[in-house]
Structure 1
Amino acid sequence: MKAFILYFKHRSLTTNQLLLLTCSYIVFVLNGPFLNKAVTAVTALQDYNVLFLLSLPIFLLSLSIIIQGVLAFKLIIKPLLILTILSSSLIFYSTLNYGTIFDYTMVQNTIETDSAELMSYVNLYAISFIFITGVIPALLIYLVRINYKPFYQEVWSRIKLFGVCISTVLLIAIFFYSNYASVGRNNKQLINYITPYKMVDASAKFVKKQYFYSPLEFKILDTAPSIERESTKKHVTVMVLGETARAQNFSLNGYEKPTNQFTEKLGVVSFSQMSSCGTATAVSVPCMFSRLDKQHYDKRTATAQQNVVDLIHLAGADVLWISNNNGSCKGVCSRVKTEKIAPNKTNPLCDGEYCFDEALLSPLSIKLNQLSSENTLIVLHMIGSHGPTYFKRYPSDHILFTPDCRSDIQNCTEEQLVNSYDNTIAYTDFVLSKIINQLDRLADKENIETSLLYISDHGESLGESGAYLHGLPYAFAPKEQTHVPMIYWSDAQQTDLSLNCLNTISDSPLTHDNVFDAMLSVMSVRTKVYTSDNDPFIHCKSQSAIARTTVDTSSQKEAKL
C-alpha cells in the first residue's frame, strides 16, 4: 500500500489530462447503466445507425468535460472531482443493484430518511463495491500532482479543450440530431440514468424548493367541519398505514401463497385495484391525506393546508397517530397527538433500531381502554415490508415461507427473496388480525361501533425487469411499485356501511386520491370539501348517512381548490 501511494504521489498530470481521465472513468465505467440502457433502446430499432450508437459515449464525454472543466479552478478541482467520483460511485452501486434512479423524488426520500434506514443498505458487498469504484479512484486523484501552468496558459489550454469538446458536440448534433431526438422522445427515462448529473440537477431543484421559496400562508379548507352520525354509540376507526406492501402478493387478491390466512377468516373486504400516488413514502403519505389529487399534488402546497386528519380532528374526533415507522408521518400528523414506538432493546419486539409491528398493539390497547370522545380515529403507521432487510420485519416464529433471505438481497436467490417478502406480508396480516380482534372485542363489550381501514403507501419491486425496492419515477414505474392493497373491516353492528355491498365493488379501480373522501365518509364528517363522486363507499352507505355527510353542490363548487 505504501509503495502504491508513493508511486502515484510522484506522478503528475496537467489539469486537462486529469479532467479527461476522470470524465472518461465517469462516462465509460460509472455511467455503465445509462450506456447499457441506451444501447438497448437504440438496437431495439429496426434500422439503427452504428455510428450514432458509437457517438453516444463520445457525446456524453464531451459534455462531461465541459461541465467539469467550467469549475476546474486551481483550489477546487481536486475536491470537486473527488466529490463527483464518490457520489457517482454511490449512484452506480444503487442503480446497478437496485435499479434506483436519483430524480427529485428519490433525492427527497433520501434526505428525509433516518440513519437507521440508511444503515440497512450498508453491507460488506456495498462497502467493497464503493471502495473499489469510488474510494480508490478518489484516492488516486488526491495523490497525483497537477502541473499548473501560468494563469493565461491554463486558461488558453482550457479554451482549446472546450473548443474540441464543443466542436465534437456540434458535429454529432449535425449528423445525428434526428436520431437523438427520436430516441430521446421515445425513451424519456434514459436521462434519469446519466450519472451524476441527473442527481445534481434534482438536488439543486430540491434545495431551491425547500429552502429558497418563502413559506406559503396556511390555508384553512373548512373552519367548521362536523361529525353527524345517526347512531348514538361511540365510534372508533383504526386507519392502518402500510409500508411497501404490493397488492399482487396478497392472497385476498388472488395470490397463490396463503399470505392472508388470518384476515381472510374475519370478513374483510379487499379492494384489489388500488393505485398509489407515488412510489416512495415521502410522496405517497402526504399525497394520500391531502385534498390535492395526484395530478396536482405538490408537497409545498399540501403542507400549507389542512389535510383529512386535520379536518377529522377539527370536527371533534379524538385523533391519535402511533408510529412504528422511523420515516415519520411526513408532516401529516404535525397538528394532532402522536406517539412513536421507541425501539429500545428492553422491548422484546425491538432490536435497538427497529420494532416488529406487533409493538403497535400495546399502545393501541391502552388507547382503546381509555376512550375519551364519542368519535375516535387512531392511525397506526407500520414498518411493514420495508426493505432491503425484509427478514428484519418478521419474528422467527412467523417464518411461513422457506427458504427465506436472511442476509443482503444480493446474496439471495429469487425464491429466497420472494419468500422473505411474502413473510412480511403474512406478518402484516397477522398484526391486522390482532387489531381487528381488539376492535371486535371492544364492539361486543362496550357496544361501540368499530372499523378498520388498511392502505399501503407504495409497492415494491423484487427483481422484475431488473428493478428492486421502490422509488422509480412514476411515469415509468412498474405496477409492482404502484399497485397497493386496501382492506376494510367493520364490526357486525356497523350500520352506515354494508360489507356485502362493498364486496360487490371491491374490484373497482381506486387510487390514493379516493382516501381523503373515504376517511371523511367512514368518520361521518360533514365538510364543504367532501366530494361524493370521489368517495368509494358512497354507494354502500345508508341514505341517511349519505345525507349527513354530503353538502349541497354549490358549497362543493365553492370549496374546490
Structure 2
Amino acid sequence: MPTIFTIRPVPLVFLLALCFTALLNWPVLLHLYHILSKLEHVKPGFAFSIPIVLVAALNLVFMPLSLRYLFKPCFAFLFIAGAIVSVAMLKYRVLFDQEMIQNIFETNQSEAGAYLSPTMISWVFFTGILPALLLFFIKIDYASPWYRGILPRLLSMLASLAVLALVAGLYYKDYASVGRNNRDLNREIVPISALYGTGKYLHQRYLAEPILYTRLGEDAVRTQTAGKPTLMFLVIGETARGKNFSMNGYHRQTNPFTSQIGNLISFTDVHSCGTATAISLPCMFSNLGRSGFDSNLARHRDDLLDVLQKSGVAIFWKENDGGCKGVCDRVPNMEVSPKEHPAFCDGETCHDEVLLQGLEEEIGRMQGDKLVIFHLIGSHGPAYYQRYPDAHRVFLPDCRRSDIENCSNEALINTYDNSIHYTDHVIAELIARLQHHDSDYQTALLYVSDHGESLGEMGLYLHGTPYRFAPDEQTRVPLQLWLSTGFIQQKQVDFDCLRESASAKRFSHDNLFPSLLGIWDVTTRVYRRELDLFAPCRPG
C-alpha cells in the first residue's frame, strides 16, 4: 500500500484531535459561540480557550486508542460515526444521548433511509469516509520495543491534563456558568457523547444483570359484560403535534373530517412520555409512568395489553410504523407488508389507509369484546411528503424532499400539515367502520400520538431532544376520543363532563393505562382511579 507520510503515534493522535475539533465539532462550537454572543460580558481569553479545551480533551480521550492494532480501525470507525452524528446535529440539532441511541437501534431500514439526502451523503463522505480512507495510507512509526512508546503517550496525556487544569484555573467560573445554564452542551461533543450513549444503551440492553419478569393484573376481572359486546379502536399516531390540530385551535383546517363527526372530543393539553417512539410507545402502555419509566424494566413486565387480555378482552395489533417496540409481543399482531399492498405502498413504506385492508375479516376472527390497535406511520419525518397521497396535497407548495432544511419554512409546514390532514382522514374512515358495526357492538375510538415534532422552532428539527430540554412542539400531542351513543349509554359516561374536562385539564400518556382499564370496567390492584380520565365523568 502506498504511503503518504510517516509519523509517530503521539503527534498523529494530536493531529486527529485537531481534525475532529475542526471538522466534526462545528455544531458544538457554533452553539457555544452563539451562547456567548448573547451574553453581556465575555472574556476574550475564555472565548479563545474553547477550541483549545476541546483539542486537549479529545487528545486525552484518544490516546489510549493509539495501540498498534487498534489505531487505524478505531479511528476509521470514529471518523465515519462522527460524521453521521455531526451532520445530524448540524442539520436538525439532534442530541445523541442514550435515548437517541436506543431510537437508532430500534429504527427499521426504511425509516433510516428517509434521512438520506445528497447533503448528508456528501458531508459523511468528505468528513468521515475520506479521512478514514486516508488514515490507512499513513505509516505509523511505532516504538520498538513497544514499551518505549508508553512514556511519550503518558507525557502527552499529562500535557492535555495540564492544559485543562490551566484553563480551569483561569476561567472555571465562566465554564461553570455556561455549563449550568446549557446542560445539553456535553451531549454535543463528537464522538464522545454518542460513544457514551451507545455504551450505556448496550450495557443496559444486553449486559446488565437480568431482571425477573413481573406479571401484572393476575387479579383482573371485568365487572360489566352485559349487553352488546364492545368493539374499540385504539389508534397510536406517529410524530403528530397537538398544536397543529385545528380542533385544538390551529389556524388551518387540518381536521376537516373528524370535526364533522358527532360525539368526538379533542383533548387540548396532552403531553407525551418521551420525545421518540422507542421511549414513548412502551411508556404509554406501561404503568410505570413517565417519572418512573425505565426501558429495561418495562421489557420485563406486563403492560396494558397483557392486563386487558387477562380480563377477557380480545386484542389485535396492526402495525404500519416499523415495530411495536415490544408492546404487542404477547398479543396477536401483524405488520403490514408493503409488497402485498402496491396500491398504498411504495415498496418500503405505506400510507396509513393500508391498515383498513382486511380489517373486517380480522374483526370477524376475534371473539367477544374486541380491542384493535392501529400503529400509524402518521407524520414520520423527515420525508413528510411520503406520508400522504396526492389527494391530500391541500397545503401548497409542499416540500418534496427529505433534506428539509433546504425547503422554505412555508413549504415544510405545508408538508407537515398535509400529513396531519391525511391522518385526520384515516381516523374518520376508522370511525366510519365502527359506525358500520353499531348494530352489533358498542363502539369507540381513541387516538393519541406518541410524541410531537420540531419544525425549525429555535433551530430544532424532528424530535428526540432530551425531555427536560424538549420544546412544547415535541411533547404536546393530540388525543381524540369518539364514543358511539350506545357506548355512552352502556358505560354511563357523562359526555358533557368529559368534553369540559378535555378543554380544562392537563393529561398525559400516564393516563392511558388506567383510563383503558377503567372504561373496560377492569377491576385490578394495578388500576389507579385518580389517573383515569373517564372516572370523574362516570358513576362510582
TM-score norm. by structure 2 comes to 0.96
- Answering whether residue 33 of structure 2 is matched by residue 39 of structure 1, we say yes
Equivalent residue letter for 1:529? V
SS in structure 2 of the partner of residue 319 of structure 1: strand
SS in structure 2 of the partner of residue 294 of structure 1: helix
SS in structure 2 of the partner of residue 383 of structure 1: coil
Summarize the alignment of residues 467-478 of structure 1 with structure 2, pairs less than 5 Å apart.
467-478=460-471
Structure 2 equivalent of residue 308 of structure 1: 304
Equivalent residue letter for 2:192? Y
Equivalent residue letter for 1:483? R
Q: CA deviation at 1:342?
A: 0.8
Structure 2 equivalent of residue 436 of structure 1: 431
Structure 1 equivalent of residue 20 of structure 2: 26
Structure 2 equivalent of residue 145 of structure 1: 139
Summarize the alignment of residues 263-274 of structure 1 with structure 2, pairs less than 5 Å apart.
263-267=258-262, 268-274=264-270
SS in structure 1 of the partner of residue 293 of structure 2: coil
2:243 to 241, 248, 269: 248
SS in structure 2 of the partner of residue 484 of structure 1: coil
Q: CA deviation at 1:156?
A: 2.8
Structure 1 equivalent of residue 172 of structure 2: 177
Q: Unaligned stretches of 5+ in structure 1?
A: 547-561
SS in structure 2 of the partner of residue 474 of structure 1: coil
Structure 1 equivalent of residue 339 of structure 2: 344
Equivalent residue letter for 2:484? D
Q: What is the aligned-residue identity percentage?
A: 36
Distance 1:25 1:311 in 2: 54
Distance 2:526 2:24 in 1: 49
Distance 2:363 2:151 in 1: 76
SS in structure 2 of the partner of residue 155 of structure 1: helix
- Answering whether residue 68 of structure 2 is matched by residue 55 of structure 1, we say no
- Answering whether residue 280 of structure 2 is matched by residue 287 of structure 1, we say no
Q: CA deviation at 1:152?
A: 4.5
Structure 1 equivalent of residue 72 of structure 2: 78
Q: CA deviation at 1:364?
A: 2.5
* Equivalent pair of 1:238/1:378 in contact (CA under 8 Å): yes
Summarize the alignment of residues 143-292 of structure 1 with structure 2, pairs less than 5 Å apart.
143-150=137-144, 151-229=146-224, 231-267=226-262, 268-292=264-288
Q: Provide Cα deviations, 1:440-467, integer angstroms capped at 9, x if missing partner.
A: 1211x32x21000000000011111111
Q: Provide Cα deviations, 1:20-71, integer angstroms capped at 9, x if missing partner.
A: 1111011122111111222223343332222112112111211110111122
Q: CA deviation at 1:230?
A: 6.4
- Answering whether residue 362 of structure 2 is matched by residue 367 of structure 1, we say yes
1:355 to 334, 350, 357: 350
Structure 1 equivalent of residue 520 of structure 2: 523
- Report which stretch shifted further, 87-96 or 40-49: 40-49
* Equivalent pair of 2:317/2:372 in contact (CA under 8 Å): yes
Distance 1:413 1:178 in 2: 41
Equivalent residue letter for 1:175? L
- Answering whether residue 119 of structure 2 is matched by residue 125 of structure 1, we say yes
* Equivalent pair of 2:219/2:525 in contact (CA under 8 Å): no
Distance 1:14 1:180 in 2: 33
**Aligned length in residues:** 533
Equivalent residue letter for 1:464? E
Q: CA deviation at 1:231?
A: 4.4
Equivalent residue letter for 1:48? V
SS in structure 1 of the partner of residue 217 of structure 2: coil
* Equivalent pair of 2:308/2:517 in contact (CA under 8 Å): yes
Q: CA deviation at 1:356?
A: 0.8
Q: CA deviation at 1:197?
A: 0.3
Q: Provide Cα deviations, 1:280-328, integer angstroms capped at 9, x if missing partner.
A: 00000000010101111011211222211111100001011111111x1
- Report which stretch shifted further, 463-472 or 38-47: 38-47
Q: Provide Cα deviations, 1:161-216, integer angstroms capped at 9, x if missing partner.
A: 22321211111122222222222122111111111101111111111111112321
Distance 2:509 2:184 in 1: 24
Q: Provide Cα deviations, 1:416-453, integer angstroms capped at 9, x if missing partner.
A: 1111111110100000000001111211x32x210000
Equivalent residue letter for 1:190? L
Distance 1:292 1:313 in 2: 19
- Answering whether residue 404 of structure 2 is matched by residue 407 of structure 1, we say no
- Answering whether residue 319 of structure 2 is matched by residue 323 of structure 1, we say yes
Q: Provide Cα deviations, 1:492-533, integer angstroms capped at 9, x if missing partner.
A: 122222332211111210111111111112222121111111
Distance change in 2, residues 1:201/1:371 (3 Å):
closer
SS in structure 2 of the partner of residue 530 of structure 1: coil
* Equivalent pair of 1:517/1:534 in contact (CA under 8 Å): yes
Distance 1:231 1:152 in 2: 81
Equivalent residue letter for 1:144? I
Displaced runs of 4 or more, over 6 A: none
Distance 2:33 2:117 in 1: 31
Equivalent residue letter for 1:520? L
Structure 2 equivalent of residue 461 of structure 1: 454
* Equivalent pair of 2:217/2:310 in contact (CA under 8 Å): no
SS in structure 2 of the partner of residue 320 of structure 1: strand
* Equivalent pair of 1:345/1:351 in contact (CA under 8 Å): no
* Equivalent pair of 1:237/1:523 in contact (CA under 8 Å): no
Distance 1:129 1:32 in 2: 12
Distance 2:220 2:419 in 1: 38
Structure 1 equivalent of residue 442 of structure 2: 449
Distance 1:182 1:358 in 2: 51
TM-score norm. by structure 1 comes to 0.92
Distance 1:124 1:343 in 2: 25
Q: Unaligned stretches of 5+ in structure 2?
A: none
Equivalent residue letter for 2:453? E
- Answering whether residue 370 of structure 2 is matched by residue 386 of structure 1, we say no
Distance 2:79 2:219 in 1: 55
Equivalent residue letter for 1:522? I
Equivalent residue letter for 1:474? Y
Distance 2:143 2:342 in 1: 64
Distance 1:232 1:66 in 2: 71
Equivalent residue letter for 1:65? N
Q: Provide Cα deviations, 1:458-489, integer angstroms capped at 9, x if missing partner.
A: 00111111111111110101111100000000
* Equivalent pair of 1:269/1:499 in contact (CA under 8 Å): no
Aligned-CA RMSD value: 1.5
Distance 1:123 1:37 in 2: 24
Distance 2:482 2:358 in 1: 20
Distance 1:307 1:345 in 2: 31
Distance change in 2, residues 1:22/1:531 (3 Å):
same
- Report which stretch shifted further, 34-43 or 314-323: 34-43
